Each structure stands twice: as C-alpha cells, then as structure tokens.
Amino acid sequence: MIQQLSYAMRYVLGKDIAGRNFFVYPDDTFLVSYPKSGSTWARFLVAALANPEETVSFLNIDRLLPSISSRSKRDLRNQPRPRLIKSHEYFDARYQNVIYVVRDPRDVVLSQYRFFLKRGAIDDGYALDRFVNRFLAGSLNDYGSWGKTWEAGWQRGKAQSAFFCCAMKTCCWKPERIDESCRFPWPGCHPRAFGTLC
C-alpha cells in the first residue's frame, strides 16, 4: 500500500521515470538503438557534436543527452530545447527526428550474453544457443526482439526525418540514410558530420 502511494505521489509530481510516457516536442531529436548496439558510443559522439564547447564525460552525459529510462518526466520537461534524448524503446510515432544506431545482430546478441553473465542474470553455464533463441524471440528484455525493433525503425526512417548509423565495422549491410531532409536542431551541424564518424 505504501509503495503504491509512493508511486502515485511520484507520478503526480512528475518524478516517475519517463519511459514512453512524456511529452514529445516537434524539435526533439532521439538517439534510438536496441540495447547493446553502441548507444553509449553514439551518445558521446552526438553530445560532443551538439555541445562543442563542453568536454563530454560520464559526469555530464545525462545532462547533455538524457535517457528516458533514467530521467523523470519533470527532468525531461525542464531540459532546454531543442532536446536530445536517448531511448532503447521500440518505434514511437511521436518521434519526428531520429538517429537510429544499428549494430550487426550477431554482435548484439554476444554483447548481451556477456552482459547478462556479468550481471548474474544468467548462470555461467547458460547455453549460448538457448540465449540466442530468447534473443530472437524478444524475451530477454522489455524492448522486444532486435528484428522487430529494427524493422519498425527502418519503415519509419524511410518516411520521416531519420538516418541510420552502423555502430560497428562488423555490420553486414550499409543502413546509413543521410540526406537533406534530415535536419538536426543544433546550428551548423548536418547529419553528414555524424555519418562520417560511423
């Protein structure tokens, strides 16, 4: 009962974690990726491009490019606009400007496997093939399967202001979509500047 009341108070005050439940402005830009796809790497690159006067570090990254999974709705509402926001969430039609970070799914599943082992979320002897099957089914986390996340992002990106960045050299395709229709909210920076770093 106390826990429910505590959550209700956080919700009313806007102090609950934003997740998918926050107001999206048309000038927001989202850095979206499936977990373990290189989003930390991309987050630092985008934050550095958007804030050339600051040295980006783990001490200020959540202020410069906050994550919807670690910040409250109130924090995001108070973030200076135009906002840069990180998300691992699946397709959200409200996002008008999106940078999709894509990594070869073979690398993603191995990275997640090591991450789960390190966190103790699976036993040391957990079979890799069993883990891969769970990865393909989308039952490892709340974000669904890599394939469905990627497909939704790709379909969205073909029609909206989005571009794709291959996070690692081991990508088996070239998903970059950088064109003149993709506008970023910070002055003097075109998506091609980011694309050259991918």
Strands in 29-33's sheet, in edge-to-edge order, are 84-87, 29-33, 97-102, 161-166
Could you state, in order of their start, the residue ranges of all structural domains in the chain? 2-195
Note the CATH number of domain 2-195. 3.40.50.300
From first to last of its 198 residues, the chain has per-residue pLDDT tens of 665 555 455 555 555 666 667 888 988 888 888 889 888 888 898 888 888 888 999 999 999 999 988 888 888 888 999 889 998 887 778 888 888 887 888 888 999 999 999 999 999 999 999 999 999 888 888 777 887 777 766 666 554 555 556 555 444 334 444 444 344 444 445 444 444 444
pTM higher than the cut 0.75: no
Compute the distance between CA of residue 73 and CA of residue 66 in angstroms, rounded to an integer: 11
From first CA to last CA, the distance across the chain in angstroms is 49
Write the DSSP string, the chain: -HHHHHHHHHHHHT-SB-TT-S---TT-EEEEE-TTSSHHHHHHHHHHHH-TTS---TTTHHHHS-BTTTSBHHHHHHSPSSPEEEE-----TT--EEEEEE--HHHHHHHHHHHHHHHTSS-TT--HHHHHHHHHHT-SSTT--HHHHHHHHHHHHHHSEEEEEE-STT-SS------TT---SSTT--HHHHHTT-
